[in-house]
Amino acid sequence: MYDEIIDAIEQGNYSEALKHAKQYPQDKIDDTYAVLVATICMHFGEFEYAFDYIRNGLQYNYKNYELYLILGTYYASTNPVQAKLCYENALYYCDSEDDRNIIESYLNAPDIRSVQISPTSIVILSYNQPDLTQSA
């Protein structure tokens, strides 16, 4: 379905890939389309557009590891902690051994490997009586 876009990206012809991507109806967008267009946007430095496509793609399929990988790249220069979390999510959802190796190379990059993630706990208070829950 997206063969023309994929071929253009693989050949490094991002302008051609963008031209093909614009031909698809916006109401038929799925997570694969989001990966492709986000990749094109990142290439052209259109990071906010890329973020929008990543977000929409994750809403469509939150288990798409390629979107987490691109999102990690989006955050890598500004928020290494968030980038590392994105790469870890990508690794968690990845089912391709070749792609797992690529994701691990991102995680082993010196600027990401040195990032320390602070442990976080979430406490949800609940009571059987609504008035106690509201006052807590």
Question: For position 45, what pLDDT does the model report?
Answer: 96
Question: For position 76, what pLDDT does the model report?
Answer: 95
Question: For position 132, what pLDDT does the model report?
Answer: 63
Question: For position 134, what pLDDT does the model report?
Answer: 65
Kind plus residue range of the DSSP H or E element containing 130: helix 130-135
Question: For position 113, what pLDDT does the model report?
Answer: 92
Question: For position 29, what pLDDT does the model report?
Answer: 80
Q: Which residues of the chain have pLDDT under 70?
A: 127, 129-136
Question: For position 66, what pLDDT does the model report?
Answer: 98
**The length of the chain, given as a count of residues:** 136
H helix runs in 11-128, sequence order: 14-21, 31-43, 47-60, 65-76, 80-93, 97-107, 110-113
CB burial of 33-62 (b: ≥16 within 10 Å; e: otherwise) equals bbbbbbbbbbeeebbeebbebbebbbeeee
What domain range is 61 assigned to? 3-135
The CATH number linked to 106 is 1.25.40.10
Residues 6 or more apart from 60 whose CB is under 8 A from it? 29, 30, 31, 34
pTM for this prediction: 0.84
Question: For position 28, what pLDDT does the model report?
Answer: 75
Question: For position 25, what pLDDT does the model report?
Answer: 83
What is the tally of structural domains in the chain?
1
At residue 78, what are phi and psi to the nearest 5 degrees?
-110, -30
Question: For position 127, what pLDDT does the model report?
Answer: 67
Question: For position 1, what pLDDT does the model report?
Answer: 72
- Residues 108-128: tens digit of each pLDDT: 999 999 999 988 888 877 767
Question: For position 100, what pLDDT does the model report?
Answer: 98
Give the number of other Cβ atoms within 10 Å of residue 103's Cβ: 24
Question: For position 70, what pLDDT does the model report?
Answer: 98
